[in-house]
Amino acid sequence: MSRGLVIWLTGLSGAGKSTIAVRLDQELRLLGRTVTVLDGDEVRTHLSKGLGFSKEDRDTNIRRIGHVAGLVAGHGGVAITAAISPYREVRDEVRAAVPGFVEVYVRCSLDELVRRDAKGLYAKALRGEVANFTGVSDPYEEPLHAEVTVDSGEETVEESVERILDCLERLGHIWRGVRPRLRTGAEAGALREQARSLPVLEVGPHETADALMLGTGAFSPLPGFMGAAGYAEVLASGRLPGGHPFPIPVVLRLDEEGAGRARGASRVALRHQGEVVAVVDVEDVYPTDPGREALSVYATDDTAHPGVRLLQASGPWALGGQVTALRRPDTGFPTYDLTPLEVRAAKAERGWATMVGFQTRNPVHRAHEYLQKVALENLDGLLLHPLVGETKSDDIPAATRMACYEELLAGYFPAERVLLATNPAWMRYAGPKEAVFHALIRRNYGCTHFIVGRDHAGIGNYYDTYAAQRIFDEYTPAELGIEILRFEHAFWCRRCGQMASTRTCPHPAADHAVLSGTRVRELLSLGQPLPAEFTRPEIAEILAADARSAHAEGANGQALAADATAPA
Ligand SMILES: [Zn+2]
């Protein structure tokens, strides 16, 4: 992330703008940002020397500060301004003119300012000895739409700075790493007790999965469900308002009744199947735009697309706000339900500097194994991270897939080079956009690299074969925080006598052992094992056994659809 940013601190003299500016400067430098502080007093001795305190002179002063701050931000830097800037109109003028404008209202009551009054200025002004003194003998126009308001009379400097950094992170201007918002044990109990007095929203499996993943930090830098501004920007640009890549809206959708309950509440409880799973601090309740969202996220408004269908069936409102989860995600595989911080810890324990993530919702056939091993030739570890949240009903059941993964890793990978963990997300089938989403999630789990094959997260013929790889051209690896490994379909070549792809094998397709998805389904529905060139015998046997038992139970043999080669 190297987009510029102007943090505009406004507030009365003595409210603490300069102190906050100094602390913000330190914190942002630690994050590797280049920071310029434009302090009001300093500006008046240089840039605006000779200007007085009439409205006209004050406005000129602010325009000058705004101009310089805009230059700093224009080069990717951070400008922090600390000037009273009492007039709303000129502040808004600067907002419109500079990139990445974030208004911070540093509020402080006049009583508190008079009590502090280090320079004795308020006392003088109140005695009528200072003309044009803002807040006493000159107006101060409070911001109407400040991105964040801090109150230096009510909170410590540390608390104010933390809230400003939180806001910058939520807007996507900065990323401070994975920070869970997850309560467990007695803490969760206490919050659950408090939650009894909160308005309750009944939520489904998707919202629950999203809330719990927000709680573990898997969607970092997002601290909660997106508000109106974030939602609009993500749809428009595939980024958060501050520029951080984020292609998919993470939204708590509500019907009229839910929206009514959430409006006016400062905090709500989310309940799923009788259990309060999370609380949300309500920031805004806003109407969604399903038509626009469908085209942006799914690149189609065809209601045959499962994502579009889901959107059409959802309530027209959304609630934005920070989430605190009351439990960990539970996918039914407790050994493998690791949070991002736990996966990072496991990576550190193994001493891996690099780790490649592999997304799948299918059994790992030899084509996938090949890609993983090609990556492992160069990288330290593999995070096999199957998506076990909700997928299509005709995808292979998660329990069968987990059995396949265990078998494959035990039989064909060095134990110290692999880590199996579940990804509790649900499938959106958003193709390219979801590929980026999957990469960001794996970045949060500690991956340095991520494998993207052809038609990642695709469905039907909605996405061009390479669209999920091309979309990464819109982002730099630095801003994504993860490097993408693009792969072709792989296959067994009889003449090469090994796994290969069109990038490494010169032989015609007739020499390649390729099975269509239809043929895979056919073989499985007949309870026949898949050929060894296609799937390891142990895996083929698990799938065949699963198919036989599904058949015995009268289930549709089609339920064992397996995408032959695509990783996602
Ligand atoms: Zn060949």
Report pLDDT digits (tens) over 59-84.
Answer: 999 999 999 999 999 999 999 999 99
Are 340 and 218 in contact by the 8 Å Cβ rule? The answer is: yes
Q: How far is the CA of 498 from the centre of ligand 1 (A)?
A: 8
Provide the pLDDT for residue 554: 59
Pick the CATH number of 185-325 from 1.20.120.1200, 3.30.390.50, 3.10.400.10, 3.40.1790.10: 3.10.400.10
Rounded average pLDDT over 256-261? 96
Structural domain boundaries of the chain? 5-170, 185-325, 334-560
Q: What angle do CA 209, 371, 522 make, to 5 degrees?
A: 75
User: How sure is the predictor about 566, in pLDDT bands with cuts at 50, 70 and 90?
Assistant: very low
Q: What residues have CB less than 8 Å from 95, skipping those under 6 apart?
A: 8, 101, 103
DSSP single-letter state for residue 72: H
Q: How far is the CA of 374 from the centre of ligand 1 (A)?
A: 17
Provide the pLDDT for residue 549: 81
The answer to whether residue 300 scores a pLDDT higher than 90 is yes
Q: How far is the CA of 31 from the centre of ligand 1 (A)?
A: 48
Rounded average pLDDT over 388-405? 84
Q: How far is the CA of 487 from the centre of ligand 1 (A)?
A: 17
Measured CA to CA, the distance from residue 558 to residue 124 in angstroms comes to: 84
Q: How far is the CA of 370 from the centre of ligand 1 (A)?
A: 15
Rounded average pLDDT over 267-276? 96
Q: How far is the CA of 198 from the centre of ligand 1 (A)?
A: 64
Quick one: CA dihedral 291, 296, 297, 300, positive or negative?
A: positive
Fold match, 5-170 / 185-325: no
Q: How far is the CA of 495 from the centre of ligand 1 (A)?
A: 5
The mean predicted confidence, pLDDT, of the chain is 93
Q: How far is the CA of 508 from the centre of ligand 1 (A)?
A: 8
Q: How far is the CA of 533 from the centre of ligand 1 (A)?
A: 13
Rounded average pLDDT over 331-341? 96
DSSP single-letter state for residue 220: T
Provide the pLDDT for residue 262: 96
User: How sure is the predictor about 489, in pLDDT bands with cuts at 50, 70 and 90?
Assistant: very high
Q: How far is the CA of 360 from the centre of ligand 1 (A)?
A: 26
Report residue 201: phi and psi, to 5°: -115, 125
Q: How far is the CA of 366 from the centre of ligand 1 (A)?
A: 15
Provide the pLDDT for residue 2: 59
Tokens of 88: 């709303």
Rounded average pLDDT over 160-172? 94
Question: What pLDDT digit, counting tens, does each position of 187-215 carry?
Answer: 999 999 999 999 999 999 999 999 999 99
Measured CA to CA, the distance from residue 293 to residue 354 in angstroms comes to: 35
Prediction pTM value: 0.89
Measured CA to CA, the distance from residue 54 to residue 349 in angstroms comes to: 63
C-alpha count within 13 angstroms, C-beta hemisphere, residue 235: 16
Percent of the chain with pLDDT over 90: 84
Catalytic, out of 18, 48, 85, 220:
85
Q: 484-522 burial by CB neighbour count: b if 16+ within 10 A, else e?
A: bbebbbbbbbeeeeebbbeeebeeeeeebebbeeeebbe
Strand bridging mode 200-202 / 35-39? unpaired
The answer to whether residue 444 scores a pLDDT higher than 60 is yes
For the domain bounded by 334-560, which CATH number is listed?
3.40.50.620
Which architecture characterizes domain 5-170 according to CATH? 3-Layer(aba) Sandwich (3.40)
SS3 64: helix
Residues with CB under 5 A from ligand 1 (ion): 493, 495-496, 505, 507
Q: What angle do CA 414, 420, 423 make, to 5 degrees?
A: 155
85 is catalytic: yes
